[in-house]
Amino acid sequence: AAPAEPAPPKPAPAYSSALLDKPGTHARPGAGAPPLPAGVSALSWLVADVRTGEVLAAHNAHRQLPPASTLKSLFALTALPHLDAAARHKVSESELAGVGDGSSLVGVEAGRSYRVSDLWRGVFLSSGNDAVHVLAELNGGWQQTVRQMRAKARALGARDTHVVSPDGYDAAGQVSSAYDLAVFGRAGLADPEFARYCSTPVAQFPNGNWSYPIQNTNRLLTGADGVARYPGLLGIKNGYTSHAGNTLISAAQRGDRTLVVSVMNPQAGDGYAVYEEARSLLDWGFTAAGHTTPVGSLLPESERSRTAQGPAPAAARAALTVEPDGSDWTAILLVGAGSAVLVAGAVVVIRRRTAGAYRR
């Protein structure tokens, strides 16, 4: 018998991700691509295509910086698969004992029972460190969760991230990068549960007879505090500490294209500058896509020799999402050409304030 023909070689990418290892701004715009937006002051940022993982442009992509609560995206990627959303848990005093001073809180109380899904809404909407501490204990404990998060980051190819505190609270040696945060955002959008939570603008906490409304602290999603809502936004996670400054992972869909943007610590403007810088990078990315040569990839090294045709984001696939715990809260996500509409029951929106330095 004739020997079998050898398999054709896998297509190689038209770029080298080694470029992103170098400091500075990297972009390769072609004919028809607009210039990069002026006035982006963040210490580190990145724009990438969610489906392919191709990086369209970046600035100091691998610079290690404190991530603040954007690290909760990695926490969710790590713990969500291990916890039953419909399970109920009675919170103990010991589970809340380690919450850091000045933390953002959703209002978890010892002695009360909560559904796991309620606690996840507390993480994604209110950036509640109290909810993270309880979920981490359910996941096997604080240090076990740290080890799992470190392993998850390595598996995703996020080599700049070192986890010390799963809630993103400032801790010596805890760092990530714009590259790694974009990796976490892209991975989260592929998970339907993550995508549902991160795109929720308002909800009742906890869901049931005794509850109060909570609002997502991501202003690009809610349009709060004078920040205009971004059309087609799929959410993900924002963060702030006095050490990290403002940080943000955002994703949006326009037509059949979805982009993810990460922004770390803008040096100009007020506390909302992170949203405006993300907005300008998303606008640039949607205009430049198809007219620029990628400068790198979010895919792990083992996958970069394959043509990236990742799944559509889970948030964009869902027309109607109903909570798995049987609650009466629903979220409707309608994604069209540059628009997304989310409706969360007849919930009155208020903002909860916490005493002390606000970390979100």
- Give 19-60 pLDDT, tens digit per residue: 999 999 999 999 999 999 999 999 999 999 999 999 999 999
Which residues span the domain enclosing 149?
54-294+314-343
pLDDT in the model for residue 8: 47
- Catalytic residue positions? 69, 72, 127
284: which strand partners? none
- 339 pLDDT higher than 80: no
Cα separation, 84 vs 254, in Å, equals: 33
CA angle, 84 as apex, 80 and 85 as ends, to 5°? Answer: 80
pLDDT digits (tens, 9 = 90+) for 145-198: 999 999 999 999 999 999 999 999 999 999 999 999 999 999 999 999 999 999
- 284 pLDDT higher than 80: yes
Stretch 117-134: mean pLDDT:
98
In a domain, 216, yes or no: yes
pLDDT in the model for residue 333: 33
In a domain, 301, yes or no: no
Nearest to 239 by CA among 138, 41, 103, 80: 103
CB atoms within 10 A of CB 191: 18
Which residues, other chains included, contact 72 with Cβ-Cβ below 8 Å and sequence gap of 6+?
Answer: 123, 124, 127, 132, 166, 167, 168, 237, 239
pLDDT in the model for residue 338: 32
Buried/exposed code over 74-100 (b: 16+ C-beta within 10 A; e: otherwise): bbbbbbbeebebeeebebeeebbebbe
Confidence of residue 207 (pLDDT cuts 50, 70, 90): confident
In a domain, 20, yes or no: no
Using CA atoms in the order 106, 110, 112, 117, what is the torsion angle rounded to 10 degrees?
Answer: 40
Tokens representing 301 are: 């090294």
In a domain, 162, yes or no: yes
pLDDT in the model for residue 209: 77
- Counting residues of the chain whose pLDDT is more than 70, the rounded percentage is 80
pLDDT in the model for residue 218: 98
Cα separation, 147 vs 279, in Å, equals: 34
- CATH code of 109's domain: 3.40.710.10
Tokens representing 21 are: 């290892």
Stretch 223-247: mean pLDDT:
98
In a domain, 81, yes or no: yes
In a domain, 137, yes or no: yes
In a domain, 123, yes or no: yes
Cα–chain-centroid distance for residue 6?
A: 42
- 224 pLDDT higher than 50: yes
- 87 pLDDT higher than 60: yes
In a domain, 167, yes or no: yes
Are residues 33 and 292 in contact, defined by beta-carbon separation less than 8 angstroms?
yes
Cα separation, 155 vs 212, in Å, equals: 38
CA angle, 246 as apex, 255 and 41 as ends, to 5°? Answer: 75
Confidence of residue 18 (pLDDT cuts 50, 70, 90): confident
pLDDT in the model for residue 85: 97
Say which residue, 162 or 330, is predicted with more confidence.
162
Say which residue, 150 or 327, is predicted with more confidence.
150
Cα separation, 44 vs 173, in Å, equals: 18
Count of structural domains, the chain: 1
Stretch 349-358: mean pLDDT:
32
Cα separation, 270 vs 168, in Å, equals: 21
Q: Strand, coil or helix: what is 308?
A: coil
Predicted TM-score (pTM) of the model is 0.84
Q: Strand, coil or helix: what is 292?
A: strand
What's the mean per-residue pLDDT of the chain?
86
